[in-house]
Chains A and B, each alone.
Chain A
């Protein structure tokens, strides 16, 4: 059972464009939604995270949009650069703020982003 569905699997964007990656979840107990960035040969690294009482969070060129009623959240990368080329994973966990839950992250299957000059 895949609890976090991520799309698209791959994405090609021109330099300076906007990259958008979408995720949908099923478990309404999820209360922590991070995005991880992974470069080849490296482990995933936390990029940005959001909690469900916030609809949007922005850090530099990276923005998470969150729609609790639709159970969807997305990552927007503004002014995409070739250095942003990586695999992006959305994830979710429960219990981060309620204190009751499994805590461990459930990951989407990843989106391979290629930003071409």
Chain B
């Protein structure tokens, strides 16, 4: 068990809808990362927060947004969903920004129909 909790485990929704994925980092970890995993693209970095502040953006669509709250949990909001957004979304956390290991949750599987 990595200590990172992601909810829900599965999510099925229709195109055009909006969903929120939630992540609770390991106790003591200040940095939260979101990754998207699809079969053809592998693990794609979306966005990173550190102690409530956005620190880095990767290949995140404008329809997607995230935030990290004062209690350090994070939410990833996906709107105007398209079929191509169907993927596994992983949250990871680390103690700090540098070479500390990333600890991944077990992911949220999003299916857009």
Smallest CB–CB gap between A112 and chain B, Å?
11
Judge whether B104 and A44 touch: CB under 8 Å: yes
Give the contact-size bracket for chain A.
20 to 34
Judge whether B42 and A46 touch: CB under 8 Å: no
Which B residues lie within 8 Å of A108 (CB)? 42
Majority SS at the chain A contact face: loop
Judge whether B56 and A104 touch: CB under 8 Å: yes
Judge whether B107 and A107 touch: CB under 8 Å: no
A102 to B41, CA, bound (A): 20
- Does B87 sit at the interface, judged by CB under 8 A? no
Judge whether A96 and B98 touch: CB under 8 Å: yes
Which B residues lie within 8 Å of A110 (CB)? 42-43
Interchain CB contact (< 8 A) of A43 among B48, B55, B58, B104: B104
Judge whether A105 and B56 touch: CB under 8 Å: no
A45 to B106, CA, bound (A): 10
Judge whether A104 and B58 touch: CB under 8 Å: yes
A99 to B99, CA, bound (A): 10
Smallest CB–CB gap between A77 and chain B, Å?
19
A-facing residues in B1-25 (Cβ within 8 Å): 2, 4
Which B residues lie within 8 Å of A78 (CB)? none
Which A residues lie within 8 Å of B41 (CB)? 109
Judge whether A95 and B43 touch: CB under 8 Å: no
**Complex A-B, nearest 9 residue pairs according to Cβ-Cβ distance, in ascending order:** A43-B104, A96-B99, A109-B42, A107-B43, A46-B101, A32-B99, A103-B97, A44-B104, A104-B45
